[in-house]
Amino acid sequence: MIQTILNHRSIRKYSEKEIEKQILDEILVAGTKASTTGNMQVYSIVVTKNKVIKDQLWEAHFKQDMVKQAPVILTFCADFNRFNKWCELRDTTPGYDNFLSFYTASIDALLAAQNVAVAAESHGLGICYLGTTTYMADKIISILDIPKNVVPVTTLVIGYPDETPDLTDRLPTDGIVHFEKYHDYDAQKINEIYKDKEELPSTKELIEINKTDNLAQIFTEKRYTKKDNIHFSKSFLDIITKQGFMNNK
Protein backbone atom coordinates (compact mmCIF):
# COMPACT_ATOMS: atom_id res chain seq x y z
CA MET A 1 0.00 0.00 0.00
CA ILE A 2 2.88 2.38 0.74
CA GLN A 3 4.26 1.84 -2.77
CA THR A 4 0.79 2.49 -4.22
CA ILE A 5 0.67 5.83 -2.42
CA LEU A 6 4.24 6.80 -3.32
CA ASN A 7 3.66 5.97 -7.00
CA HIS A 8 0.47 8.03 -7.37
CA ARG A 9 -0.03 9.67 -10.75
CA SER A 10 -2.95 11.71 -12.02
CA ILE A 11 -4.20 9.90 -15.14
CA ARG A 12 -5.92 11.96 -17.82
CA LYS A 13 -6.09 9.39 -20.64
CA TYR A 14 -8.03 6.13 -20.28
CA SER A 15 -8.52 2.93 -22.26
CA GLU A 16 -11.99 1.68 -23.18
CA LYS A 17 -11.69 -1.31 -20.84
CA GLU A 18 -14.54 -1.50 -18.34
CA ILE A 19 -13.92 -1.88 -14.61
CA GLU A 20 -14.99 -5.31 -13.38
CA LYS A 21 -18.02 -5.13 -11.04
CA GLN A 22 -16.22 -7.01 -8.25
CA ILE A 23 -13.32 -4.55 -8.34
CA LEU A 24 -15.58 -1.49 -8.43
CA ASP A 25 -17.64 -2.85 -5.54
CA GLU A 26 -14.49 -3.45 -3.49
CA ILE A 27 -13.24 0.07 -4.21
CA LEU A 28 -16.55 1.58 -3.11
CA VAL A 29 -16.57 -0.50 0.09
CA ALA A 30 -13.07 0.82 0.80
CA GLY A 31 -14.50 4.32 0.54
CA THR A 32 -17.14 3.55 3.17
CA LYS A 33 -14.43 2.35 5.58
CA ALA A 34 -12.80 5.79 5.77
CA SER A 35 -12.63 7.71 9.03
CA THR A 36 -15.75 9.81 9.61
CA THR A 37 -16.91 12.40 12.14
CA GLY A 38 -18.79 10.73 14.98
CA ASN A 39 -19.36 7.66 12.76
CA MET A 40 -22.16 9.62 11.08
CA GLN A 41 -20.89 9.05 7.50
CA VAL A 42 -22.46 12.27 6.28
CA TYR A 43 -21.44 11.85 2.65
CA SER A 44 -22.69 10.10 -0.47
CA ILE A 45 -21.01 8.76 -3.60
CA VAL A 46 -22.80 9.03 -6.96
CA VAL A 47 -21.52 6.44 -9.44
CA THR A 48 -22.01 7.47 -13.07
CA LYS A 49 -21.40 5.12 -16.02
CA ASN A 50 -24.27 6.12 -18.32
CA LYS A 51 -22.92 7.78 -21.47
CA VAL A 52 -25.65 10.42 -21.67
CA ILE A 53 -25.09 11.55 -18.08
CA LYS A 54 -21.31 11.41 -18.53
CA ASP A 55 -21.63 13.70 -21.55
CA GLN A 56 -23.54 16.17 -19.38
CA LEU A 57 -20.87 15.94 -16.67
CA TRP A 58 -18.22 16.47 -19.35
CA GLU A 59 -19.86 19.79 -20.19
CA ALA A 60 -19.98 20.75 -16.51
CA HIS A 61 -16.34 19.80 -15.91
CA PHE A 62 -15.02 22.26 -18.51
CA LYS A 63 -15.13 19.60 -21.27
CA GLN A 64 -12.19 17.60 -19.94
CA ASP A 65 -12.01 14.55 -22.21
CA MET A 66 -11.10 12.16 -19.41
CA VAL A 67 -14.69 12.52 -18.14
CA LYS A 68 -15.88 10.86 -21.35
CA GLN A 69 -13.00 8.38 -21.62
CA ALA A 70 -13.02 6.97 -18.08
CA PRO A 71 -15.64 4.25 -17.63
CA VAL A 72 -16.65 5.45 -14.15
CA ILE A 73 -17.19 8.91 -12.70
CA LEU A 74 -17.59 9.18 -8.92
CA THR A 75 -19.06 12.35 -7.44
CA PHE A 76 -18.49 12.69 -3.69
CA CYS A 77 -21.02 14.79 -1.83
CA ALA A 78 -21.30 16.34 1.59
CA ASP A 79 -24.64 14.83 2.58
CA PHE A 80 -26.78 15.54 5.63
CA ASN A 81 -30.00 14.68 3.75
CA ARG A 82 -29.92 11.02 4.76
CA PHE A 83 -28.85 11.71 8.35
CA ASN A 84 -31.48 14.44 8.85
CA LYS A 85 -34.27 12.18 7.60
CA TRP A 86 -33.14 9.41 9.93
CA CYS A 87 -33.16 11.80 12.90
CA GLU A 88 -36.66 13.02 12.05
CA LEU A 89 -37.95 9.46 11.70
CA ARG A 90 -36.59 8.79 15.21
CA ASP A 91 -38.48 11.73 16.74
CA THR A 92 -35.55 14.08 17.19
CA THR A 93 -34.72 17.41 15.57
CA PRO A 94 -31.46 17.64 13.59
CA GLY A 95 -29.49 20.89 13.87
CA TYR A 96 -27.19 20.53 10.88
CA ASP A 97 -28.28 23.43 8.66
CA ASN A 98 -25.10 25.43 9.25
CA PHE A 99 -21.63 25.95 7.81
CA LEU A 100 -19.87 23.77 10.41
CA SER A 101 -22.05 20.82 9.39
CA PHE A 102 -21.26 21.42 5.73
CA TYR A 103 -17.56 21.53 6.55
CA THR A 104 -17.81 18.33 8.61
CA ALA A 105 -19.62 16.52 5.81
CA SER A 106 -17.09 17.80 3.26
CA ILE A 107 -14.24 16.34 5.32
CA ASP A 108 -16.07 13.00 5.48
CA ALA A 109 -16.57 13.03 1.70
CA LEU A 110 -12.92 13.82 0.99
CA LEU A 111 -11.68 11.11 3.35
CA ALA A 112 -13.90 8.60 1.55
CA ALA A 113 -12.64 9.86 -1.81
CA GLN A 114 -9.01 9.33 -0.87
CA ASN A 115 -9.74 5.80 0.35
CA VAL A 116 -11.37 5.10 -3.01
CA ALA A 117 -8.42 6.62 -4.88
CA VAL A 118 -5.84 4.47 -3.09
CA ALA A 119 -7.98 1.33 -3.41
CA ALA A 120 -8.44 1.98 -7.15
CA GLU A 121 -4.71 2.47 -7.71
CA SER A 122 -3.94 -0.71 -5.78
CA HIS A 123 -5.98 -2.56 -8.45
CA GLY A 124 -3.92 -1.02 -11.26
CA LEU A 125 -6.55 1.58 -12.09
CA GLY A 126 -5.83 5.24 -12.73
CA ILE A 127 -7.60 8.16 -11.08
CA CYS A 128 -7.79 11.91 -11.35
CA TYR A 129 -9.48 14.41 -9.05
CA LEU A 130 -11.59 17.11 -10.70
CA GLY A 131 -11.35 20.49 -8.98
CA THR A 132 -14.09 21.73 -11.28
CA THR A 133 -16.66 20.08 -8.99
CA THR A 134 -16.92 23.09 -6.70
CA TYR A 135 -16.67 25.55 -9.59
CA MET A 136 -19.69 24.01 -11.29
CA ALA A 137 -21.60 22.64 -8.31
CA ASP A 138 -24.91 24.12 -9.46
CA LYS A 139 -24.71 22.34 -12.83
CA ILE A 140 -23.70 19.05 -11.21
CA ILE A 141 -26.56 19.31 -8.72
CA SER A 142 -28.98 19.64 -11.62
CA ILE A 143 -27.44 16.83 -13.69
CA LEU A 144 -27.36 14.33 -10.82
CA ASP A 145 -30.73 15.29 -9.23
CA ILE A 146 -29.00 16.17 -5.96
CA PRO A 147 -31.52 17.25 -3.25
CA LYS A 148 -31.30 19.88 -0.53
CA ASN A 149 -28.77 19.29 2.28
CA VAL A 150 -26.38 17.71 -0.23
CA VAL A 151 -23.46 19.45 -2.01
CA PRO A 152 -20.93 17.90 -4.44
CA VAL A 153 -17.39 18.57 -3.18
CA THR A 154 -15.09 16.49 -5.38
CA THR A 155 -15.11 14.08 -8.32
CA LEU A 156 -12.90 11.15 -9.28
CA VAL A 157 -12.57 9.75 -12.77
CA ILE A 158 -11.51 6.09 -12.62
CA GLY A 159 -10.40 3.65 -15.30
CA TYR A 160 -7.53 1.70 -16.79
CA PRO A 161 -4.72 4.09 -17.78
CA ASP A 162 -3.86 4.76 -21.40
CA GLU A 163 -0.72 6.68 -20.44
CA THR A 164 2.15 6.46 -17.97
CA PRO A 165 3.04 10.02 -17.02
CA ASP A 166 6.06 10.85 -14.90
CA LEU A 167 5.55 11.21 -11.18
CA THR A 168 4.47 14.74 -10.30
CA ASP A 169 7.07 16.72 -8.40
CA ARG A 170 6.32 17.42 -4.74
CA LEU A 171 7.79 19.84 -2.21
CA PRO A 172 10.35 18.34 0.19
CA THR A 173 8.91 16.91 3.37
CA ASP A 174 10.73 19.42 5.57
CA GLY A 175 8.90 22.19 3.74
CA ILE A 176 5.54 20.79 4.83
CA VAL A 177 6.00 18.99 8.15
CA HIS A 178 6.30 21.01 11.37
CA PHE A 179 7.42 19.27 14.56
CA GLU A 180 5.87 20.16 17.92
CA LYS A 181 4.67 23.63 16.78
CA TYR A 182 4.21 25.55 13.54
CA HIS A 183 7.48 27.16 12.49
CA ASP A 184 6.90 30.10 10.16
CA TYR A 185 8.93 30.50 6.98
CA ASP A 186 11.50 33.19 6.30
CA ALA A 187 12.64 34.12 2.79
CA GLN A 188 15.63 31.79 2.94
CA LYS A 189 13.46 28.79 3.85
CA ILE A 190 10.92 29.61 1.13
CA ASN A 191 13.70 29.74 -1.45
CA GLU A 192 15.05 26.38 -0.23
CA ILE A 193 11.64 24.71 -0.34
CA TYR A 194 10.81 25.81 -3.88
CA LYS A 195 14.32 25.60 -5.37
CA ASP A 196 14.05 22.14 -6.94
CA LYS A 197 10.55 22.77 -8.31
CA GLU A 198 11.62 26.05 -9.89
CA GLU A 199 14.66 24.50 -11.53
CA LEU A 200 12.82 21.64 -13.24
CA PRO A 201 13.02 21.66 -17.07
CA SER A 202 9.24 21.33 -17.14
CA THR A 203 8.90 24.46 -14.99
CA LYS A 204 11.15 26.45 -17.30
CA GLU A 205 9.08 25.26 -20.25
CA LEU A 206 5.87 26.35 -18.53
CA ILE A 207 7.31 29.79 -17.84
CA GLU A 208 8.24 30.16 -21.48
CA ILE A 209 4.81 29.01 -22.69
CA ASN A 210 2.98 31.32 -20.30
CA LYS A 211 5.34 34.24 -20.89
CA THR A 212 5.84 34.93 -17.19
CA ASP A 213 8.95 35.61 -15.11
CA ASN A 214 8.48 32.71 -12.71
CA LEU A 215 6.28 29.79 -11.63
CA ALA A 216 4.45 31.71 -8.90
CA GLN A 217 3.15 34.14 -11.52
CA ILE A 218 1.67 31.23 -13.49
CA PHE A 219 -0.43 30.32 -10.46
CA THR A 220 -1.51 33.85 -9.57
CA GLU A 221 -1.88 35.36 -13.05
CA LYS A 222 -2.85 32.40 -15.26
CA ARG A 223 -4.25 29.42 -13.39
CA TYR A 224 -5.93 30.59 -10.18
CA THR A 225 -6.48 34.32 -10.44
CA LYS A 226 -8.00 36.48 -7.72
CA LYS A 227 -10.84 37.38 -10.07
CA ASP A 228 -11.74 33.73 -10.66
CA ASN A 229 -11.34 32.84 -6.99
CA ILE A 230 -13.77 35.58 -5.96
CA HIS A 231 -16.26 34.59 -8.68
CA PHE A 232 -16.27 30.87 -7.82
CA SER A 233 -16.22 31.58 -4.07
CA LYS A 234 -19.40 33.60 -4.41
CA SER A 235 -21.11 31.01 -6.59
CA PHE A 236 -20.17 28.17 -4.23
CA LEU A 237 -21.32 30.10 -1.16
CA ASP A 238 -24.61 30.70 -2.97
CA ILE A 239 -24.91 26.96 -3.61
CA ILE A 240 -24.24 25.84 -0.04
CA THR A 241 -26.73 28.48 1.15
CA LYS A 242 -29.34 27.26 -1.33
CA GLN A 243 -28.69 23.67 -0.26
CA GLY A 244 -29.46 24.56 3.36
CA PHE A 245 -26.09 24.91 5.09
CA MET A 246 -25.76 28.59 6.06
CA ASN A 247 -28.25 29.06 8.90
CA ASN A 248 -26.38 31.09 11.53
CA LYS A 249 -29.29 31.46 13.96
How many other CB atoms are found less than 10 A from the CB of residue 130?
A: 23
Question: 155-212, pLDDT tens digit by residue?
Answer: 999 999 999 999 999 999 999 999 999 999 999 999 999 999 999 999 999 999 999 9
Q: Which domains does the chain have, with CATH numbers?
A: 2-165+232-242 (3.40.109.10), 173-223 (no CATH)
Q: What percent of the chain has pLDDT above 70? A: 100
Could you tell me the pLDDT band of residue 226, with boundaries at 50, 70 and 90?
Answer: very high
Q: Is the pLDDT of residue 249 over 80?
A: no
Would you place residue 248 in the very low, low, confident or very high pLDDT band (cuts 50, 70, 90)? confident
With cut-offs at 50, 70 and 90, classify the pLDDT of residue 8.
Answer: very high
Helices (H) and strands (E) in the chain, counts: 12, 4
Q: Give per-residue pLDDT as tens, 127-166.
A: 999 999 999 999 999 999 999 999 999 999 999 999 999 9
Task: Provide the 10 A C-beta neighbour count for residue 114.
Answer: 17
CB 16 within 8 A of CB 160: no
With 90 as the cut, is the pLDDT of residue 1 above it? no
For residue 247, what pLDDT band results from cuts at 50, 70 and 90?
confident
Q: Is the pLDDT at 218 greater than 80, yes or no?
A: yes
44 — pLDDT class (breaks 50, 70, 90): very high
Determine what percent of the chain falls in helix, strand and coil, rounding each to the nearest 5.
50, 15, 35
192 burial type by CB count under 10 A (0-12 exposed, 13-18 middle, 19+ buried) = middle
Torsions phi, psi for 172 (to 5 deg): -65, 150
- pTM value is 0.96
Whether 8 contacts 122, CB under 8 Å: no
